[in-house]
């Protein structure tokens, strides 16, 4: 592990105290906590909970268990990964939003997947973007477009031509209605003049299983979700929706290289947040610890083994990205839900 950790751990508390003092002087402590709360965080011997709003063994869970030990070491506490699955992630996200804003509970608010959880009224979510304060993002996951291994479609050009020639005939799997898969498929349909027959599943693993079995003709999603079936030859990847080739599937062309430039980026980001109102000194402490954990060589290697790119964004960058993605995605989700 990094030799800088003892120094960083000693400075985290002091940095939090300075930050909290300045913020309290400017805002009168309106952030929801006090200078003392921030200065005392994290309390020695305490346990922080990392809420994963999905099942154990899934992609989110695997990555949390890679990063949690390094984060715990930086903070000098225990970090416990807690799975709160159900309700298309709404149960876990609700628990996170309603937790005490004292830094002892944080969790995934991944972008853009969280957007469909609260922008779709049928989810009946009691939270929105203002319910959380992100303190950083530790990894990114490019989106890939895939077909079953025995599909007659060999290239992205074949796929687009087939979809245009027979509108509605090609079935496309998603992991949820109005989720990021559904939004991304809608963007592809509009940009490439296609009409797909969209089929919604209950989870990403169900979607991938349907693709492997040939139950659907195509699907898209994070490269990490498709990496195993791709390596085993059960699926074919047609393109990566990114500006540059993905390092885990370097032989797969980008959409631009495949002849379809100009599609907006769809990259997913594994983002962590605390409940709104958490003192900014605590947010800063968590942000600093996450950055060091993310750049630890052992953590980076483990993330890459999971076909996920270590890719740190700080708290402000994550907050800005969230606002930008919400602005872009909200009208798309509204269109998707018309008449449903």
87-100 average pLDDT score = 96
Q: What angle do CA 183, 187, 191 make, to 5 degrees?
A: 175
26 and 132 in a single domain? The answer is yes
Q: Say what the pLDDT of residue 36 is.
A: 67
Do 175 and 31 share a structural domain? no
- Indicate whether 108 and 20 sit together in one domain: yes
Q: Which residues contact 337 (CB under 8 A, 6 or more apart)?
A: 120, 121, 122, 178
The residue behind tokens 């027979």 is: 166
- Is 50 within the bounds of a domain? yes
Q: How far is CA 192 from CA 97, 160, 172, in A?
A: 38, 7, 15
Query: Is the domain of 12 the same as that of 110?
Result: yes
Q: For residue 112, is the peptide bond before it cis, meaning its omega torsion is within 30 degrees of 0?
A: yes
Q: What is the mean pLDDT of the chain?
A: 90
Distance CA 158, CA 176 (A): 26
Asked which of 194, 226, 241 is the last residue of a domain, the reply is: 241
If asked whether residues 95 and 172 sit together in one domain, one would say no
Question: Please, which residues have CB within 8 angstroms of residue 179's CB and are 6 or more apart in sequence?
Answer: 88, 113, 116
Q: For residue range 287-338, what is the model confidence (pLDDT) as tens digits? A: 999 999 999 999 999 999 999 999 999 999 999 999 999 999 999 999 998 8
Name the domain boundary from 241, 256, 282: 241
Same domain, 124 and 162: no
Query: Among 175, 207, 241, where does a domain finish?
Result: 241
Q: What is the pLDDT of residue 35?
A: 63
Q: Is 148 helix (H, G, I), strand (E, B) or coil?
A: strand
Adjacent-strand bridge partners of 146: 219, 237
CB neighbours of residue 276 within 10 Å? 16
Angstrom distance (rounded) from CA 116 to CA 128: 10
Q: Is residue 152 part of a domain?
A: yes
Residues 161 and 215 in one domain: yes
Q: Are strands 47-52 and 78-83 parallel, antiparallel or unpaired?
A: parallel
Which residues fall within 8 angstroms of residue 196, CB to CB, at 6 or more apart?
163, 168, 170, 171, 172, 185, 188, 189, 218
**Does residue 65 lie within any of the structural domains?**
yes
Check residue 127 and give left, alpha or beta (phi > 0: left; psi -120 to 50: alpha): beta
Q: Is residue 258 part of a domain?
A: no
Mean pLDDT to the nearest integer, 19-30: 34
* Residue closest to 91 by CA, chosen among 49, 52, 50: 52
Q: What pLDDT shows up at residue 203?
A: 86
Q: What is the pLDDT of residues 212-268, one digit of tens each?
A: 999 999 999 999 999 999 999 999 999 999 989 999 999 999 999 999 998 877 999
- pLDDT for 39 equals 84
Say if residue 169's pLDDT is above 90.
Answer: yes
Who contacts 128 (Cβ-Cβ below 8 Å, separation ≥6)? 118
The answer to whether residue 250 is domain-embedded is no
Lowest mean pLDDT among 26-30, 90-94, 197-201, 231-235: 26-30
Beta-carbon contacts of residue 154 (< 8 Å; ≥ 6 apart): 236
| pLDDT confidence of residue 339 | 55
Tokens 């209950």 locate to 202
On whether residue 252 sits in a domain, the answer given is no
Give domain status of residue 248, yes or no: no
125, 274: one domain = yes
Please tell me whether residues 62 and 186 are part of one structural domain.
no
Residues 107 and 34 in one domain: yes
Domain extent for 194: 143-241
Span 148-167, pLDDT tens digits:
999 999 999 999 999 999 99
CB burial class (10 A; 0-12, 13-18, 19+) of residue 34? Answer: middle
Write the CATH number for 171: 3.40.190.10
Residue 81: which CATH number? 3.40.190.150
Shortest CA distance to 153 belongs to which of 169, 175, 142? 169
Same domain, 237 and 157: yes
Q: What is the pLDDT of residues 32-67, one digit of tens each?
A: 556 667 888 999 999 999 999 999 998 999 999 999
Give the whole-angstrom CA distance, residue 289 versus residue 5: 9
Instruction: Verify that 164 and 180 share a domain, yes or no.
Output: yes
pLDDT tens, residue by residue, 305-319: 999 999 999 999 999
Pairing of strands 268-275, 105-108: antiparallel
Assess if residue 262 is contained within a domain: no
What's the domain count of the chain? 2
């Amino acid at each position: 592990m990094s030799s800088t950790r003892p120094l960083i751990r000693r400075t985290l508390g002091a940095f939090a105290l300075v930050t909290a003092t300045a913020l309290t002087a400017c805002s009168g402590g309106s952030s929801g906590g006090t200078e003392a709360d921030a200065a005392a965080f994290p309390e020695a011997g305490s346990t922080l909970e990392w809420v994963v709003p999905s099942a154990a063994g899934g992609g989110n869970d695997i990555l949390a268990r890679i990063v949690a030990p390094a984060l715990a070491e930086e903070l000098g506490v225990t970090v416990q990964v807690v799975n709160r699955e159900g309700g298309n992630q709404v149960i876990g996200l609700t628990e996170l939003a309603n937790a005490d804003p004292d830094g002892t509970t944080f969790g995934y608010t991944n972008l853009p997947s969280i957007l469909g959880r609260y922008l779709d009224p049928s989810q009946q979510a009691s939270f929105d973007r203002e319910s959380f304060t992100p303190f950083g993002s530790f990894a990114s996951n490019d989106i890939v477009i895939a077909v079953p291994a025995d599909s007659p479609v060999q290239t992205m050009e074949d796929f687009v031509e087939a979809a245009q020639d027979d509108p509605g005939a090609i079935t496309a799997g998603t992991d949820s209605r109005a989720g990021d898969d559904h939004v991304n498929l809608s963007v592809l349909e509009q940009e490439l003049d296609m009409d797909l027959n969209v089929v919604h599943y209950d989870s990403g693993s169900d979607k991938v299983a349907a693709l492997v079995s040939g139950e659907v003709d195509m699907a898209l999603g994070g490269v990490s979700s498709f990496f195993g079936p791709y390596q085993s030859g059960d699926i074919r990847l047609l393109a990566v929706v990114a500006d540059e080739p993905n390092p885990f599937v370097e032989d797969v062309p980008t959409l631009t290289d495949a002849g379809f430039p100009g599609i907006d980026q769809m990259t997913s980001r594994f983002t962590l947040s605390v409940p709104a109102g958490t003192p900014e000194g605590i947010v800063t402490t968590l942000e600093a610890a996450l950055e060091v954990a993310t750049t630890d060589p052992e953590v980076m290697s483990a993330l890459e083994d999971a076909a996920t790119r270590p890719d740190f964004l700080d708290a402000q960058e994550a907050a800005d990205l969230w606002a930008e993605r919400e602005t872009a995605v909200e009208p798309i989700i509204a269109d998707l839900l018309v008449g449903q």
